[in-house]
Structure 1
Amino acid sequence: MLRRLSLGLAATLLPLAGIGLAAPADAAPSVVTLHYNASGITHYSAQVVQAVKNWDTRLKNVQLVSGGSATITLHEVNGGGSYTTTDGHGHGQIYIDRQQVAQGFDPTRIITHEFGHNLGLADDYTGPCSEVMSGHGPGTACKNAIPSAAEVAEADADFANGFAPALATHTVR
């Protein structure tokens, strides 16, 4: 009886401390819902919707939803390049640069790329246009805004067991 009580107490207290218990091997992973707020986007609302769709139709373990208690917030800036300040675990600030779009970079690709950072993915500027995390590396001719199967698999793997928030944030351009 004491053992059962202590395990129950641990199951109650550990999540509050940011520590989860391992799920049984046969348990299906739960879907992590990340809420975003795009009210700071005035020119690229349709592109935000498409970027979210590009991730949501492919991911199994994480879903992006507008509204709620947003942990990802999108903004427009005029200069300085598009970037994200994120912990890589679903919390961050995304900045979309209007000047970068005016130079010919595709806004849907930019937004999909920046959401990728919030899903834990790193830049790979030497990658091909078929990878959204190659960012501006392939140049303005690259309009692909569909994450590759490998990028989707990496984000899904990260969130398969309820990816816990990281302690530090960093800026990714």
Structure 2
Amino acid sequence: MRIRSLTVGLAAAFAVSCPVLTAPSAAVPSAVTAQPLVVDRVLTYDARAAAEFRAAVDRGAAIWNASVDGVELRPAGAGQRADIRVVADDGWPRSLPDSLGRGTVYIGRQAIDQGHSAVRVAAHELGHMLGLPDRKPGPCSRLMSGASAGTSCTNPYPNAAERAQVEENFEGAAAGASM
């Protein structure tokens, strides 16, 4: 991700070029060191209840991670409370956000049984957790057009406007900050 690469690069450059300081009182922060490093917002998800859709959820999260820099979706660790809970059920897919980056996603079997792509459904529903609304009707090139693009649409990738909106939604968010 570009922000992480830039942050790591700046930290490495600073560490190599910074002279060794002999006393704390001698340290005068430069313009670079006075600015806090930007840290990406990490959201955790729990797909253990996603049943047969667990791989599709992981793929949807990976697509978002490759598409945006301001937020990262990671599987929750053992014993960790997830920001996003993903559940499989027999209804229609839906998301119930509590707030930006938090809530429950339902991967409904009804849409999959009708022929919709499980990865597209997972990426679309995760998009709601990232603050995106439905954009129906819409073309297949728009992830948030959802089912209105038809069952032949398998595109799980957000378009430029969707990516930009997620970046804006998480702009300036630091890891661990409340949203």
> TM-score band (shorter)?
0.7 to 0.9
Check 1:87–1:29 CA distance in 2 against 1; reply closer, same or farther (3 A cut): farther
Letter in 1 for 2:108: D
Alignment-derived partner of residue 40 in structure 2? 31
Please report how far the alpha carbon of residue 30 of structure 1 lies from its aligned counterpart in structure 2 after TM superposition. 2.6
Q: How many residues align?
A: 139
Whether 1:53 aligns to 2:62 is yes
Q: List runs of 5+ in structure 1 lacking aligned partners.
A: 1-25, 166-173
Letter in 1 for 2:122: I
Q: Secondary structure at the match of 1:153?
A: helix
Whether 1:100 aligns to 2:106 is no
Which structure has the higher relative contact order (CA within 8 Å, separation 6+)?
1
Instruction: State the identity %.
Output: 33
Alignment-derived partner of residue 153 in structure 2? 142
Alignment-derived partner of residue 125 in structure 1? 136
Alignment-derived partner of residue 50 in structure 2? 41
Please report how far the alpha carbon of residue 161 of structure 1 lies from its aligned counterpart in structure 2 after TM superposition. 1.5
Check 1:126–1:50 CA distance in 2 against 1; reply closer, same or farther (3 A cut): same
Alignment-derived partner of residue 84 in structure 2? 72
Match for 1:114 among 119, 125, 137?
125
Q: List runs of 5+ in structure 2 lacking aligned partners.
A: 1-34
Please report how far the alpha carbon of residue 69 of structure 1 lies from its aligned counterpart in structure 2 after TM superposition. 2.8
Instruction: Provide the TM-score with structure 1 as the length reference.
Output: 0.75
Please report how far the alpha carbon of residue 99 of structure 1 lies from its aligned counterpart in structure 2 after TM superposition. 1.9
Q: What's the RMSD between the two structures over aligned residues?
A: 1.6
Q: Select the structure of larger CA radius of gyration.
A: 2
Please report how far the alpha carbon of residue 42 of structure 1 lies from its aligned counterpart in structure 2 after TM superposition. 1.1
Tell me, in whole angstroms, the C-alpha distance in 2 between the residues paired with 1:59 and 1:87. 22
Match for 1:62 among 60, 71, 83?
71
CA contact 1:130–1:144 (8 Å) conserved in 2: yes
